[in-house]
A and B are shown apart, each in its own frame.
Chain A
Amino acid sequence: MSDASDVTRSMEATGAVAASYAARRRRARPSGWWGVSLLICTEAALFGTMIASYFYLQAQVPEWPPPGVDKPIVTWPLVLTGVLLATSVPLFLAARAAKRGRTRATWLMLALALLVQCAYIGGQALLFVDDYNKSHPTENAYTSIYFTLVGLHAAHVIVGMALIAFLLVRLLSGLTNYRLVGVRVVALYWYFVNLIAVPVVLTQVSPSL
């Protein structure tokens, strides 16, 4: 068994070079990675049960959406989802830059991702207002599940944006092992939010497909 001298004391890595060194020496994924992965499992289960509820409710009635409710539009939701998926690229690059100890590059990639996500959430807001003018969430079971599902995903996006904003602030004081793991796990969270956007949007537009 190895002794204390050849195992990294990761929390001592209070600078970019040391943090990068610790990240490269690590053989297994850090605790934070496992923690966020499990959080992703719970959120995936949450979205899974909501999507299952959508199709369950659909199976209970002969017409879906029910009469009097417009079928959902297809193009804009899919386009916006594509935009969101694209932000996985700068996030991946940010995580990679962090592992290499390149604080400025990390910061710029995160800021880029956040900018595009702002555009995305702006677009989603416009679509939401449009939907809301056409039918109110409390009209029937269809509108209830529709708005709740879309709203749940938007809430996850907003939380993710807040996480990136927090990282941007912290990284202004430099890169430590703690913040490096933070960048990794926020990127991981975002991979999930972006991926789950696909089944959510496909469910959302399914009556029109």
Chain B
Amino acid sequence: MTTTTAPPRAAQRRLDRLERIWEEPSGLVGWLTTVDHKRIGILYFFTSLAFFVAGGIEALLIRTQLLGPNGTVVSPELYNQLMTMHGVTMIFLAVIPMQIGAFGNYLLPLMIGARDMAFPRLNAFSYWVFLVSGIFIYTSMAVGAAPNAGWFDYVPLGSRQFSPGPGIDFYTLGLIFTGISTTASAINFIVTIFKLRAPGMSLNRMPLFCYAILAVSFALVFALPSLSTALIFLELDRALGMHFFDVGFGGDPVMWQHLFWFFGHPEVYIIILPAFGIATAIIPTFAERKMVAFALVALAEILVAFIGFGVWAHHMFTVGLPTVSQTYFAAASMMVVIPSAIQLFAWITTIATGKPRFETPLLFIIGFIVLFMIGGLTGVMTAAIPFDQQAHDTYFIVAHFHYVIFGAAVFPVLGGIYYWFPKVTGRMYNERVGKVSFWVTFAGMNLTFFPMHIVGLLGMPRRVYSYPGDVGWSTLNLIETLGAYLLAAGLLTIVANLLVSYRRGARAGNDPFGGDTLEWSVSSPPPSYNFPVIPKVSSPYAMWDRKDREDDEQRLAEGELVLEEGHETPSSTVLDADWDEILDMPSKSWAPVVLAVVLGLVFAMMLLQHYVTALGFAALAGLVLAAWNWKEPQVA
């Protein structure tokens, strides 16, 4: 917890100059043309929050329909759309963009001591494509034709024959579209981590949150193309009459499952890995000690992503594959637990051997640890082929993945929102209400999802729109629905706390919690240029290296490493971060948002099967891309 003294005049002149160079205009135009990673992070935050609310409303409608037997709250047709959109929204439009788009974008450059991402305009483009593709997908709901074949849309149910309307086309084209955003983000993160780390931040001195982002980004780069292939095949089948998945013409519906799950399983690790990163950022701060087994935790992040590519067919254990094929996946599915266990062990030991301060962010992380253990255990159970063949497609699986998605991804996100709220807004949240919001959310979560284990083992299948009253599932479903409402109340408490605190919370200094990473060394909120001086780094806990941070002040006064001749940030070598170049970063640009809108038109035309017009818009997109690259970043 530091106090900043007013810098001497030379230093102040430098700060003013940096501010002039990096400041972006306020107002609508400023936000539409922004390339500042912090603004883009905030845009991502509110957009993914809106989609999270939409997904949550869909969930509450589902739970209300299942409140009692033979429910009539929604029709079966609407239920199928709600159930599908809940999955699609939460995974593609809420949890992942929140973690990598909001947290990743805002924090990564700050944690590595850089002034922006490697490709700022590409970053903005990622956001606008995310927004436009999300609107594209939700247009389906507006026209009453949302996709309705489940979030993984198995064929032949998803084929033209059995889903004749445009719903599945919204799904295929919408997800290809959204994939462009995520791929661009992933590439941006990797290059930023490789090239823009502050000089001296070698691989062994990079914060663990950055390892999580690195792992997630590599997973996205290699997993998304498989989904694209599946979606391209399906759309070609549906729109042009091809036969990738038609048995009668030599196709195979199981091929959809292979292609989808080769993407789908890494996707669920993509959902959870940034959350692990958030946990490893919060724990050292509140345990007031360095993370136990730093190298192994860094490794574990990467390993989960890597091994996760080899387990996809465990989603297909009941499809009829030969046991000798399934075996490879059962083995890998069991061993993928090891890196997760390494991390759990490290987290728990760090908290237990530190001096833990049980404030709201840490409470959410402890809740996450408990819920992740439960979800992980049911995961190991289902890795065993005989058990999975009984539990597959029952509510047991629904319980498992909600424990890992809600418990292990959303809980750290909630903790992270509390943790970095002071940094982003400059205000402190209310700690007492924070603790209450944790307990209500934790109780609601368990009340909703724990009974699903039991009702699943009692035989309740997934995705059913209602159930009969005489099979013994009614009481458990009632509890789950009440739990869902309690959970919603907990989440609303969090929102209320933050909204009120934004207006009336106590002013937060640079470092209210005693954080260990570099974002805590700058003001709250950070200046547009992030760092007045490029920080010197000697360890992964840069904020706790007091000598280095004092040297920063000295260097500002002397003008060393201030890089104030333009939109500048250093570029270094990959392994040891030796300083190699000074890069000039681009400033505000219209090209990203315009290109995203033009691409939206391309996809809309493809949806309507006006392919020639789509090609025309694609050519226009090419021109916009040319205009984008026409303006080269130059010295300010």
Contact = CB atoms under 8 A, between A and B. Distances in A.
Whether A and B touch directly in their complex, counting CB atoms under 8 A apart, is answered as yes
Interface of A: 1-4, 7-12, 14, 22, 26-28, 30-31, 34-35, 38-39, 41-43, 45-46, 48-50, 53, 56-57, 60-61, 66, 137-145, 148, 162, 166, 170, 176, 178-179, 182
Given A2-B579, A7-B582, A27-B573, 13 more contacts: A1-B536, A8-B582, A9-B565, A11-B635, A34-B190, A34-B191, A38-B191, A42-B221, A45-B226, A49-B226, A49-B262, A140-B251, A141-B244
A49 B231 CA distance: 12
Nearest to A56: B255
B241 interface: yes
Contacts, number: 164
Contacts of B251: 57, 60, 140-141, 144
3 nearest A-B residue pairs (beta carbon): A11-B584, A141-B250, A45-B225
B194 interface: yes
B183 A42 contact: yes
Nearest to A176: B632
25 contacts: A1-B199, A4-B560, A4-B582, A8-B582, A9-B582, A12-B584, A28-B195, A31-B118, A45-B222, A45-B223, A49-B226, A49-B259, A50-B229, A56-B255, A57-B250, A60-B252, A138-B240, A141-B249, A144-B236, A144-B242, A148-B232, A148-B233, A166-B626, A178-B633, A182-B629
Nearest to B250: A141
B92 interface: no
Contacts of B243: 138-141, 144
B572 interface: yes
A46 B255 contact: no
A14 B190 contact: no
A179 B242 CA distance: 42
Interface string B172-208: 0000000000010011101100111001100000000
Interface residues of B, number: 67
A1 B187 contact: no
Given A34-B195, A144-B251, A10 B583 contact: yes
A142 B119 contact: no
B581 A26 contact: yes
Interface in B578-636: 578-584, 622, 626, 629-630, 632-635
B258 interface: yes
B225 A43 contact: yes
B566 interface: yes
Contact of A140 (B250, B258, B622): B250
A12 B233 CA distance: 47
B571 interface: yes
A137 B242 contact: yes
B578 to A, nearest CB: 7
B574 A28 contact: yes
A27 B581 CA distance: 9
A141 B246 contact: yes
A10 B581 contact: yes
Given A9-B565, A144-B244, A31 B225 contact: no
B563 interface: yes
B228 interface: yes
A151 to B, nearest CB: 10
Contacts of A166: 626, 629
A10 B233 contact: no
Contacts of B118: 31, 34-35
Given A1-B199, A4-B561, A144-B243, A12 B259 contact: no
A66 B571 CA distance: 55
Nearest to A64: B250
A58 to B, nearest CB: 9
B224 interface: yes
Given A34-B195, A45-B222, A148-B233, A142 B250 contact: yes
B119 A35 contact: yes
Contacts of B183: 42
Contacts of B566: 11
Contacts of B187: 35, 38-39, 42
B289 to A, nearest CB: 29
B277 to A, nearest CB: 20
Contacts of A2: 199, 579
B259 to A, nearest CB: 6
Contacts of A3: 560-561
A34 to B, nearest CB: 4
A48 to B, nearest CB: 8
Contact of A46 (B225, B574, B578): B225
B199 A31 contact: no
B101 to A, nearest CB: 18
Contacts of B536: 1
Contacts of B244: 53, 57, 141, 144-145
A137 B584 contact: no
Given A31-B195, A53-B229, A38 B190 contact: yes
A170 B258 CA distance: 44
A155 to B, nearest CB: 11
A145 B293 CA distance: 49
Nearest to A165: B626
B241 A4 contact: no
A119 B576 CA distance: 46
A12 B581 CA distance: 11
Nearest to B572: A28
Nearest to B559: A4
Contacts of A11: 566, 582-584, 632-635
A153 to B, nearest CB: 14
Nearest to A159: B622
A7 B584 contact: no
Contact of A1 (B200, B240, B568): B200
B219 to A, nearest CB: 11
Nearest to B200: A1
A14 B571 contact: no
B571 A31 contact: yes
A195 B569 CA distance: 35
Nearest to B575: A28
Contacts of A7: 570, 579-582
A35 B192 CA distance: 10
